[in-house]
Structure 1
Amino acid sequence: MTTVTDIDPRLRARRGAVRRAEGRRRLRFILIGLAILGLIFCGWAALRSPLLDLDHVEITGLGPSRLAEAQQSIGLEKGTPLNDIEIGPIKADLEALPWVLRADVEKSWPSTVHIEVVERIAVAQLAKEDGRVAVVDATGTIMAEGGLEYEELPRISLEASAALGEVEPQSRPGLALIATLPDDLLQWIEAVTYSPGASPEARGVVGLDLVGQAEAHLGEATLLSDKVQALRTVLNGVDLTCIRVIDVAVPDFPTIRRDPVCSAWAQIN
């Protein structure tokens, strides 16, 4: 028969100490967890508080009319928690506007969104297939349609098929030519012309419609600075009576053609 004896008091005390230590450890973990949850809740509450919501939207780089369009595009509402505002979609919405070249957006805590917008610079006019006038920047992007403020821009004689905000690739040779034209030569020009090549692989040719029913033939859109300089030399140093064509496709050897009827009439008179 087995006799049950009392547990040694030292062993009993040791077991009690272990249980109390385990209890304190569990309590410590619980308190740490509650503290973390409390911090998370306080952070969330702070981010949702009126102290960290949107109070100011600062947009720079635009005039009054463009400013209103930009504000409508981004649709930011005051009172929105700043933490909920995503920069990427705002930037994308602004750069989707055809006249915007680039937009930089940043949040400034506690309550401001800063936006800097860089507008495209209008360079030339194109005719459109529907009769309207398209305005392009230096990249050939159609940034606007019509408008009195663009009437003084050089005109490229081609029909644009691209839509607003898209690039009109056939405008690029003419734009390259416009970029080389000095101010004193612009007064001679009524339009920049471009004729595409007979095949996709063939290069087109550029030219100028000049005042007085004359034309300047520049050939392919290469060596444009040399060709423009040759044209200036002809216009400034040659009798322009009855001239109909100035050919500077080979800039070192420019040639001119006069209207024979006009020349004969001029000699008679």
Structure 2
Amino acid sequence: MTDLLHRHDPTEARAEDRFARIRRARRWRALRRVLLALVVLGTAGALVWLVFFSSVLAVKGIRVDGVSVLTTRQVAAAAKVPTGVPLATVDLDAIEARVEDLAPVLDADVSRSWPDKVLVRVIERTAVLVVDKEGTWKGVDSEGVVFRDFRRQPPGLPVVEMQADTSSAALAEAASVVNALPADILRRTTSLDVRSIDSIVLHLRNGARVSWGSADQSGDKARVLAVLLRQKGSTYDVTAPGRPTIRP
């Protein structure tokens, strides 16, 4: 009888074995999660150190795209990109602001070019007219910004004839007028006489003059002038596009 009481039930033994395996599996899963967390934290710490503190990903130079008026050296000099510091810590906005201070730059975009470069993409201004300042041809863009020199008068760009007291605002008005001219009228235009923001005159290749006034309603004025030029005249007046005149 005693032997029977102490005899192990095979079913009970299997259950205990199963429970033991479950406990071991749970402990292993918990340990694995801890180990995984330690690996993740260690990796993250290593990456933070690598990116923000080590010299492995330090800045070694600058790449410049999009320049033709400027040179890469001029952009790099203005950008003042710090070398030897972690690339991730470089102040891109400050670099962008310094590059955009260059007169020929209309817009700049600065980004990180891993592993060790700062990339500066530049959009330069485009000249729509030129002015002669003391024998030097200066290019002016559509916003009226004087931004570059030409060695000689560039073909295809009208010349602005300025007075000594012509303001920068008047020059900007002239640029707006040129920007509004259709291509065929622009080809006929040799120069613009700019005395003030309200007194702009176009000189055409055939010797005719066009009294334009200000840059206001330039689109309407350009359309009216295109019709008027079908008739011969020495002076065309579109200062009031609703009441244009022609003088023979």
TM-score by structure 2 length?
A: 0.68
1:235 partner letter:
L
Equivalence map 1:136-215=2 (5 Å):
136-148=140-152, 150-159=154-163, 168-196=168-196, 204-215=198-209
- CA offset digits 1:88-139 (Å, max 9, x no partner): 33222211111011222223554232222121122211233x3423211111
1:53 counterpart = 2:47: no
Paired position in structure 1 for 2:234: 244
Contact 2:50 2:57 in 1 (8 A): no
Gaps of 5+ in 1: 1-38, 197-202, 259-269
Structure 1 pair 136/161, CA: closer, same or farther in 2 (3 Å)? farther
Equivalence map 1:1-269=2 (5 Å):
47-55=52-60, 57-63=62-68, 66-76=71-81, 79-83=84-88, 85-108=90-113, 110-128=115-133, 130-148=134-152, 150-159=154-163, 168-196=168-196, 204-236=198-230, 238=231, 240=232, 243-258=233-248
Instruction: Find the aligned partners of 1:107 and 1:161 in 2 and give their Cα distance.
Output: 46
Paired position in structure 1 for 2:16: none
Paired position in structure 1 for 2:17: none
Gaps of 5+ in 2: 1-43
- CA offset digits 1:36-68 (Å, max 9, x no partner): xxx99x966874533121245332222495323
Shift of 1:232: 1.7
Structure 1 pair 210/51, CA: closer, same or farther in 2 (3 Å)? same
Shift of 1:85: 3.0
Structure 1 pair 108/253, CA: closer, same or farther in 2 (3 Å)? closer
Structure 1 pair 57/169, CA: closer, same or farther in 2 (3 Å)? same
Instruction: Find the aligned partners of 1:116 and 1:176 in 2 and give their Cα distance.
Output: 26
TM-score by structure 1 length?
A: 0.63
Counterpart secondary structure, 2:127: coil
Number of residue pairs aligned between Structure 1 and Structure 2? 205
Instruction: Find the aligned partners of 1:117 and 1:161 in 2 and give their Cα distance.
Output: 34
1:137 partner letter:
D
Instruction: Find the aligned partners of 1:146 and 1:119 in 2 and give their Cα distance.
Output: 15
- CA offset digits 1:191-248 (Å, max 9, x no partner): 122222xxxxxx6222211123221112333222222222221222x2x3xx421222
